[in-house]
Amino acid sequence: VTVGDLSERELIARIQRQLPPAPAWLTLGIGDDAAVIEPERNHLDVLTVDAVVEGVHFDRRFTPPEAIGHRALAVNLSDLAAMGARPRAALLSMMLPAALPSDDFDAIVTGLMRLAADTPIHVAGGNLTRTPGPLVVDVTVTGTVKRRKVLRRSGASAGDDIYVTGAIGAAAAGLQALQQDAADESLSSCVHRYLYPQPRVRAGLLIGRTRAASACMDLSDGLADGLRQITASSGVGAVVWADQIPVEPPALEWFRRHDQDPVIAAMSGGDDYELLLTASRRARRRIHAAARLAGVPLTRIGSCTAEPALALLTTADGAAHPASFPAGFGHFR
């Protein structure tokens, strides 16, 4: 059975079967012309949309359908995390090729619903349409944040420290291994990291609450791109120390084995969904405390500068040498 054999109503029923009970604030869920939601008192609404497209953001040859659904929600949750927002409702818009097996459809929904339950966020509505083209899963999410706790991209000042959560490069190494059909045991953590990215929702919330960060964004398109964007939005530059950048060990090993500079490869690779933060020196203690509470590693990798340029410095031979700043990943991805 493929989705082409089923009516829209039957497909919606299949989604509804996987829905958990509705939260109290959901006045009206799937089944009417639109979803209706009770706003959260004294909070702002945060809204974002992000799509995953077959052949652009995933390859069905090595991406299981659960991972497609997971990714479609994760990329959006990562944007909420980067705003310091608590997730609330998701709208699921899918463009379905008629030949998609209905089991795969169910599994895409399962992957999305599993991450939704873990987060939690509630699927409140959506849209299904057929397409003569590739499978698209386009997800809109809403969240809430208190007015003074919004994490913007544009607040970094010269002299602020630059931090990154967790470690980077794993997703890029995992993707390379899958593409080359070379994903052995040593790469399994990287492959899992690529297939099932874990958005830093709790870290974003806790960092937002401390009001310690001056700017924040998520690393959907890699650290090089993130540094470029956060500094451009804030009107500053940055000096980053290559030796300080936390590259996931098996990814570092993979890049070395494949003649890639590990730092450049890790900075250029996308799909990490870590958070990139800036904070004043005075806020060092608070920002580390928030990360500790969230259970995520936090590494200081450089400083913001008044001069609006980006520099990657290496201390390989004891002295600082400017290294070329990687071009970044995913222009118009």
- Give the binding site for its own copies (CB under 8 A): 3, 6-9, 11, 27-28, 31-40, 43-51, 53, 55-57, 78-80, 82-83, 85, 89, 91, 93, 95, 124-134, 136, 138, 140, 142-143, 145, 147, 150, 152-154, 216-218, 233, 331-333
The pairing of beta strand 213-218 with beta strand 275-279: antiparallel
Helix, coil or strand: residue 229? helix
In the structure encoding, which two tokens stand for residue 160, read together? 């602020």
Task: Give me the least distance between CB of 83 and its own copies, in Å please.
Answer: 5
Taking the least distance from each CB to its own copies, the nearer of 85 and 242 is: 85
Taking the least distance from each CB to its own copies, the nearer of 1 and 319 is: 1
Check: CB of residue 266 under 8 Å from CB of residue 252: yes
Task: Give me the least distance between CB of 319 and its own copies, in Å please.
Answer: 35
Task: Give me the least distance between CB of 70 and its own copies, in Å please.
Answer: 18
Burial class (CB in 10 A: 0-12, 13-18, 19+), 9: exposed
Task: Give me the least distance between CB of 203 and its own copies, in Å please.
Answer: 14
Task: Give me the least distance between CB of 313 and its own copies, in Å please.
Answer: 26
Read out DSSP for 193-225? Answer: HHHS----HHHHHHHHHHT-EEEEEE-TT-HHH
In the structure encoding, which two tokens stand for residue 93, read together? 């818009």
Taking the least distance from each CB to its own copies, the nearer of 62 and 253 is: 62
Task: Give me the least distance between CB of 54 and its own copies, in Å please.
Answer: 8
Burial class (CB in 10 A: 0-12, 13-18, 19+), 34: exposed
Beta bridge partners of 279: 161, 213
Taking the least distance from each CB to its own copies, the nearer of 148 and 282 is: 148
Taking the least distance from each CB to its own copies, the nearer of 26 and 172 is: 26
Task: Give me the least distance between CB of 103 and its own copies, in Å please.
Answer: 17
Taking the least distance from each CB to its own copies, the nearer of 40 and 253 is: 40
Task: Give me the least distance between CB of 51 and its own copies, in Å please.
Answer: 5
Taking the least distance from each CB to its own copies, the nearer of 282 and 331 is: 331
Cα(241)–Cα(238) distance, integer angstroms: 10
Cα(25)–Cα(38) distance, integer angstroms: 5
Biggest alpha carbon–alpha carbon distance for the chain = 66
Read out DSSP for 86-142? Answer: EEEEEEEEEEE-TTSBHHHHHHHHHHHHHHHHHTT-EEEEEEEEE-SS--EEEEEEE
Cα(106)–Cα(17) distance, integer angstroms: 10
Taking the least distance from each CB to its own copies, the nearer of 135 and 279 is: 135
In one-letter notation, the amino acid at residue 122 is H
